Structure 1
Amino acid sequence: MAVNERLRAALLNAGMTGKQLAEAVGVDPKTAERWVSTGRTPHPGIAHRAAAALREDLAYLWPEIEQGRRRKRGTSDLVAAYPTRATAPIDMWRTMFEQAERQIGILVYAAIFLHESWPDFSDLLTAKAEAGCQVRVMLGDADSPVIRARGQEERYGHGIEARCRVALMHYQPLTKSPNIEVRLHATTLYNSIYMGDDQMIVNAHVFGMNAYGAPIYHLRRTGGSGLYDTYAESFEAVWEQSRPPGE
C-alpha cells in the first residue's frame, strides 16, 4: 500500500510524531505508524479525532472516507454537471418535463429562458396537467425587497423585476387548469430548482452573477436522503412560504 504523504506532511506541520498522534486519539502507536507507512485508513470516528488533533481537513488526509460518505448520502443522484446554464443543453429541460407524469415543479425568480427557448412550453405544461400531472410554479415577487436586492447584486438594475413580471404573464393563464398552481415567493433564492418526477435540474446561484453564468446539476433520485431529496425539501419549504398572485 502507498505511503500517506498528506498525513506525513500534516504531522510535520503540526510538529507531532506518530506516537504523539496515537496518544492524542487513543490508539496503539504502531497503528498510527501504519496510517502513514502503508496508507491504511482509520475508522471514521478515529480519523475525525486525528484530523482535529492535526488541525487538518479529514477529506484531505483520507479522501476515501469522504467519498464513502458521499456514496451513502446519495451522490449517485448526480447525472451530470455543467459549468454554466448557458452550456447546459436546453433539451435536458425538455426531456425531463416531457417524461414527467406525476409532478412538475419550478422554483425560480423568472427563468423566462424556458419560454424564450421553447415557445410551446406553456402548451406542454397544460397538456401534462390535463393528463393528471401536478404542476407547481413559484416565481419571484417583483415587488419584494429581495428581488430588488438581487438585481443590485447582479448589476442587473430593475431588469430582474421586469423579468419576474414577464414570467408571471407567461404562467398565470395556466392556472385555469385544476392541476396547475402558480405562486409568488420573496425568499432568498440560493438555487433555482426544476423537477420532473424523479429527475431534477438545479441551477446554483453565485453572488454577483446572473443565473445563466452559474453551474447546473442534473440529478436523478436513486434512493432516500440523497441530493435530490435535499433540494426537494428546499422546494417544499419555499412552497409553504409562497402565496398566490394578488394575495
Structure 2
Amino acid sequence: MAKLLLEDKVVLITGAAGGIGRATALLAASEGARLALTDVAADRLAAVAAEVRANGGAALEVPADLTSGESVDAMVTAVVEHYGRLDGAFNNAGVSGGQIGQGGRRAGEWEETAFDRALAVNLKGVWLCLRAELRQMGSQGGGAIVNTASLAGLAGFKTTAGYSAAKHGVVGLTKTAALDYAPTIRINAVCPGYTDTDLMKDAMRRGGDAIMARIPAARLAQPEDIAEMACWLLSDRSAYATGGTFVVDGGYLAG
C-alpha cells in the first residue's frame, strides 16, 4: 500500500476555519497528517476540527492571537506538548482590504489603522509564526513551512495597498528564511490566484467580470486547488523545493 502524502506528520494550519485553510486541513488529514488548527473564528474552527475527526483524523484546536509573539509561542508550545513534535506548518491566516473596510481605496486613501492591521496579520503574523516554528523545527532537526502569499505579492493590483505590501513582504520573508535555514528546514510560499473564498467577495462584487476575463482557466480557483499545492510542499515529495513562490492562478500571470 502506498504511503500517504503526509503520513504521521504533525501539521499546524493557521486560518483553518474556512476557505483555503479548511480545504488544506481536510486534505492533509486525509493524507495522514495529525493536525493543529487555529483561527479567530472559534465556532467555524470547531466545526472544521469536528469534520476532521468525523473522518477519522486527529485535530487539536489551538487558540492564538497571531499578532502577538507571546500568544504564537504559546500556540506552538501547546502543539508540541500535545503531539511531541511539529513537522509542518501552513501559515495561511490573512485579511483582505475588503475585510477591513478598505475595498476599492487607492493607496493614498487607506486608513492608517487599516494599513497597520493588514501588515500585522498578513506579514507580522506570518513572521511570528515562522519564528516560533523555526525554533521548534530547528531543535528537532528539520521540517517544512508554507506561507500563503498571493498574486498581489508578485505584481501590483489596484486598490490593494496594505494587502499587497504585506504579501510582497511575505514573499521576501520566505526567500530570506529559506536561505537562512537550508538545508534542514524547507520554506516556500504558495501564491493563490483569484480563489472562491470569503476573502475574495469584495473584489468579485466590484470587478468580477473583468477578473474572469483575465483568467485563462475560465474559472476561479477552488480552495482545494490551493490545498493540493500546500500539502505537496509540506510533504517529503517536494524535498528539493525551498525558497520558491508557487503560483496557482489558472494562468492569470501568464497573460
TM-score category (smaller protein): 0.3 to 0.5
Larger CA Rg, structure 1 vs 2 = 1
Task: Calculate the TM-score normalised by the size of structure 2.
Answer: 0.35
Task: Calculate the TM-score normalised by the size of structure 1.
Answer: 0.36
